Homo-oligomer: A and B are copies of this chain.
């Protein structure tokens, strides 16, 4: 079943049927109806590979995210995919697990489809990836992070500022022995940026930074482990900033079991504002990143640049996208 078969059946040329699919408004209403009828009758589905080859374009958008299971990225993927699919674009998804090499593989694979755009997480790539996206003839969007002086469109915020804001908030509340717990065993350099923001503020105030890196991988357990280790110190901390809400939740749940009062004994600060954070006892003070917004804005940029929506909508977002500090009970 090809486009010519449909065309023959309708009594028009193939190109008219092609137009029916790509530019329906260029086909007369009468023909439009007759074509629709035949298409429905045969259940004809255009061969997108052929179309892509002929036009050197496609409605495929490739996206590389560190991992699908993280609540943080899931929202971005979901909102991104939703907005794109509204305009007939399809999402080719790959996970990098924070590995630049896996990211490169994914980008290479995407390239073969002459995608409409590619979306990456962050700006830290292999040299080969850099070359590939440099040469790309389609939009490349980097999400979740900002790094000036780069060619790709960026949709994100400064993680350093997030770390700074969290630390300043705790400092303002009177905490001084503030620790930072890193993300365990990943190449997540964005959490390291947040840490750097923390370290900088500590240094400003002449305070010694206290860093802890958990050794186990499941986030909740890593949070428990970190919390317990930091409480056991000779000079225990009075506040902890966690690299994400899962780690922080682990700490709160552990404190709860052990009957340790939070924030009296130790304040807990997270990052991510996961669904659970607000429901914990005590509820988790955290910074909500614009996860959903990142997906939406990235999609809008792509749609604007490929002409699917008016161009002027393109850069109507403010970079950095705003994070929100959510004060709750834990800090």
Where the two chains meet, the residues of A that have a C-beta atom closer than 8 Å to any C-beta of B are 43, 45-53, 58, 60, 67-69, 71, 74-75, 77-78, 81-82, 85, 88, 90-95, 105-106, 108-114, 128, 131-132, 135, 218-220, 224, 246, 249-250, 253-254, 256-257, 275-276, 279-281
Contact = CB atoms under 8 A, between A and B. Distances in A.
A37 to B, nearest CB: 15
A203 to B, nearest CB: 34
Contacts of A254: 279
A90 B94 contact: yes
Nearest to A106: B85
A132 B45 CA distance: 10
A94 to B, nearest CB: 6
B68 A218 contact: no
Contact of A45 (B88, B95, B108, B250): B108
Contacts of A82: 95
20 contacts: A43-B131, A43-B135, A45-B111, A45-B132, A46-B112, A47-B53, A47-B114, A48-B49, A48-B112, A49-B50, A49-B114, A51-B112, A60-B92, A67-B78, A69-B74, A82-B95, A88-B109, A90-B92, A92-B93, A256-B281
Contacts of A131: 43
Q: How many copies are assembled?
A: 2
A191 to B, nearest CB: 18
Contacts of A71: 69, 71
Main secondary structure of the interface of A (DSSP, over half): helix
Given A91-B93, A220-B279, A50 B47 contact: no
A246 B276 CA distance: 9
Contacts of A276: 220, 249, 253, 276
A275 B218 contact: yes
A131 B71 CA distance: 36
A288 B313 CA distance: 45
A257 B281 contact: yes
A250 B115 CA distance: 42
Contacts of A257: 281
A17 to B, nearest CB: 14
Contact of A75 (B69, B75, B113): B69
Contacts of A220: 275-276, 279
B52 A275 contact: no
Nearest to A223: B279
A225 to B, nearest CB: 12
Contacts of A68: 68, 74, 77-78, 81
Given A47-B112, A49-B58, A53-B50, A95 B78 contact: yes
